[in-house]
Every structure is written in C-alpha cells, then in structure tokens.
C-alpha cells in the first residue's frame, strides 16, 4: 500500500479473502453459493490486474486467414492456443496444463 491508499489489486484481494474466510464459512445454501461466485469474480479481477487482458486484436484477422486458407494450420493452432492460454490465466487457471501456468 503506497501513500496510505490501497491499490485496486489489494482491495480485490481483501474482498476475496473476506468472502472466502468470513462469509462462506458462516453461510449456507444460496448465500454461500453467491459468496463463492463473488469470491471467484474477485479472483478473476486480481488476475486481470496482474496479467492484463489478453490481446485479441488479431482474432478477426486470424479467422479471415483460416477461412481464406492463407495461413499455415500449425501457425493458426499456435496462435489460437496462446489466446486460449491467456484467457484461461485470467478466467480459470485451474484448467491450464502445468506447463502453461
């Protein structure tokens, strides 16, 4: 925390930890479920702040190149794979292969 003002990442972590450590154990049913969903959202926000949003600017160009047959399929596969890995790092890193973490 610099200058006495918590960063956005610090705030997100504090809210996530509160939900995980205080709210979820003290609730059940629907409220517990919604607390878990909110904690997962806060985790996603933390990861987005850490890694940034994946660059998807070239997705349209890649689709057009695949349709036109003007790109090597191995190259297309590599680009698609890297995009999926970048998105999973943010949304749900548990689905990544160990070598992609």
pLDDT tens digit sequence for 60-84: 999 999 999 999 999 999 999 999 9
The pTM (predicted TM-score) of the whole model is 0.81
Domain ranges of the chain: 1-52, 54-101
Instruction: Count Cα atoms within 13 angstroms, Cβ side, for 96.
Output: 17
The mean pLDDT of 44-51, rounded to a whole number, is: 96
Report the pLDDT value the prediction gives residue 2, as an integer from 0 to 100.
63
State phi, psi for 97 to the nearest 5 degrees. Answer: -70, 150
Is residue 1 over pLDDT 70? no
CA dist 39 and 90 (Å) reads: 14
How confident is residue 57, by pLDDT bands cut at 50, 70 and 90?
confident
Task: Count helices and strands (H / E) in the chain.
Answer: 5, 0
């Amino acid at each position: 925390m610099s200058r006495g003002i918590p960063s956005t990442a610090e705030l997100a972590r504090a809210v996530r930890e509160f939900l995980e450590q205080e709210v979820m154990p003290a609730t059940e049913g629907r409220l517990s479920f919604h607390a878990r969903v909110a904690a997962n959202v806060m985790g996603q926000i933390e990861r987005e702040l850490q890694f940034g949003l994946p660059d998807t600017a070239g997705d349209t160009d890649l689709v057009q190149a695949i349709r036109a047959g003007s790109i090597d399929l191995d190259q297309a596969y590599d680009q698609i794979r890297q995009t999926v890995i970048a998105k999973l790092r943010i949304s749900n890193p548990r689905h990544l292969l160990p070598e992609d973490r």
